Amino acid sequence: MKEEARAFLEELLNTPAPTGMEMDAQRLWAAYMKPFTDEQNCDAYGSAWAVLKSKQPNAPTLMLDAHADEIGFSIRYIDDNGFARIERLGGSDVAIARGRRLCFFGSDGEVYGVIGNTAIHIRDDKGQAPNLWDLYVDFGCDSREEVEALGLRVGDRGIYCDGPLMLNNGKRLVCRALDDRLCGFITAETARALHEQGIEPAWNIVFANTVQEEVGCIGAQMLTYRIQPDAAICLDVTHGTDSPGLNKGRYGDVRLGKGGVLCFGPACHPNLNARLELVARESGVPMQRETSGRTTGTNTDQIFRSRCGVPATNLSMPLRYMHSPVETADMGDVQACIDLLVAFIRSLKPEDDFRHKL
Ligand SMILES: [Zn+2]
């Protein structure tokens, strides 16, 4: 991977984007897309997109979607002694929250705090997870007034401080928010690869970086309605099941280092999946399979049922420890996803139509 790409990935991961507060990360992503695409834009709530226009007349449109937001917390209540109680933004895991460092974003900028962890010697909880409302953030203050003087109020958002860390000489990447910043990186690098290889796609390609996925796939709903794509691939993360203690009979067999994971289920269009499988086979890019019996739990669920229905599918990065500060992914899988998307886009012809027909 090029040094410029690595630096962008690091900057993207170091840019906070708790749900509803994605604009810093969106501006960064859109600026990176500028040399590789014809236009960049964002909607009222901040979903960003960049368009690579086809030179073909009346070309259909493919949307590649990743979500920009990450899970976090917001301040619910600040007590008289200066401790803050918190609300979850998306699926933050209270079981691992105690004893962690947080960065909140107040009116005067960043404010650090820690989630208090009563010492094991004097704690009386028999090891079970705390209630959300029992967690509290210590900003180093002795009163509500002192917290407010730091620029914090009810509703201000925060995330874990944990930035990127490479394991095993760059083989594996650890960070908070790899869900789904890693896929925003993949769409960006796909645009760069198309640009550098001089590929002129037969379809218009809309690279979407949508907001508010973690609270119900909302940005993707708004943006799909606007873009009206003819096909869409949603890029998100899925549970790697190759760490200890996971039952493959229950959760399937998804491994780090074996490529992206294509989802098979009612939401994922069989014609689109068939093409992706063909392209993977012909180009020698590794790809895994998973199944979802109903919808997928990703933006695909909002994309495929937009308007009259959009042939869509879900291509996921295998990820260990999802929704924790140590989310772990394989850098080989990142490259495999980029290679697959480039090969898929190369395969598109103006007359391709993934819809069912009688
Ligand atoms: Zn996600």
For ligand 1, the distance from its centroid to the CA atom of residue 221, given in whole angstroms, is 15
Confidence of residue 107 (pLDDT cuts 50, 70, 90): very high
The arrangement of secondary structure in 72-160, i.e. its CATH architecture, is: Beta Barrel (2.40)
Q: Residue 222 forms beta bridges with which residues?
A: none
Around ion ligand 1, which residues have CB less than 5 A away?
A: 179-180, 236
Q: 3-state class of 225 per DSSP? A: helix
Q: Residue 103 forms beta bridges with which residues?
A: 112, 159
43, 208, 317, 332 from 30: Cα distances, Å: 13, 10, 22, 25
Domain boundary assignment for the chain:
3-70+176-347, 72-160
For ligand 1, the distance from its centroid to the CA atom of residue 217, given in whole angstroms, is 9
For ligand 1, the distance from its centroid to the CA atom of residue 84, given in whole angstroms, is 27
Q: What pLDDT sits at residue 127?
A: 76
Domain 3-70+176-347 in this protein, CATH class: alpha beta
70 is catalytic: no
For ligand 1, the distance from its centroid to the CA atom of residue 67, given in whole angstroms, is 6
Query: What is the residue whose two structure tokens read 């993707």?
Result: 220
The pLDDT tens digits for 276-333 are 999 999 999 999 999 999 999 999 999 999 999 999 999 999 999 999 999 999 999 9
Please report the DSSP string for 69-137 in residue order. Answer: -B-EEEEEEE-TTSEEEEEEESS--GGGTTT-EEEEEETTEEEEEEE----GGG--STTPPPPGGG--E
Average pLDDT, the chain: 97
For ligand 1, the distance from its centroid to the CA atom of residue 234, given in whole angstroms, is 10
Catalytic residue among 213, 214, 290, 327: 213
Q: What pLDDT sits at residue 125?
A: 75
